[in-house]
Amino acid sequence: MSLQEVLPEQLAELFHHYHQALGPDFACDSKPEGEAWEQVPAQEKNRMIAAARLALLELGVSERQHRDSRRYFAKPGEAEWGC
């Protein structure tokens, strides 16, 4: 799956799930049963989705820059040598 296929809403929900699941392992003051994504207030959900969207955009730019930086280099074994 590429970054373009990841929806910010999915990433935010997964992050929330793992954040809740790992809370007890890090001695966090979270509820023992955790708060379901459906119970998160709309304003907090929107904030997490916006953060996920920005993270995906930043990762996408980094991925594109890496790909573009290699555009002018020959693949191994394909370089033409000579003056």
> Is position 58 within any domain?
yes
Distance (Å) of CA 72 to CA 15, 51, 58, 69, 81: 37, 34, 23, 7, 15
pLDDT tens digit string along 38-81? 999 999 999 999 999 999 988 887 766 766 666 666 677 776 66
Distance (Å) of CA 16 to CA 36, 49, 61, 63, 76: 9, 10, 24, 25, 42
**70: helix, strand or coil:** coil
User: Residue 24 — pLDDT band, cuts 50, 70, 90?
Assistant: confident
> Is position 74 within any domain?
no
> Is position 18 within any domain?
yes
| pLDDT > 70? residue 29 | no
Residue 78 has a pLDDT of 74
Domain range for 35: 3-69
pTM over 0.75: no
> Is position 30 within any domain?
yes
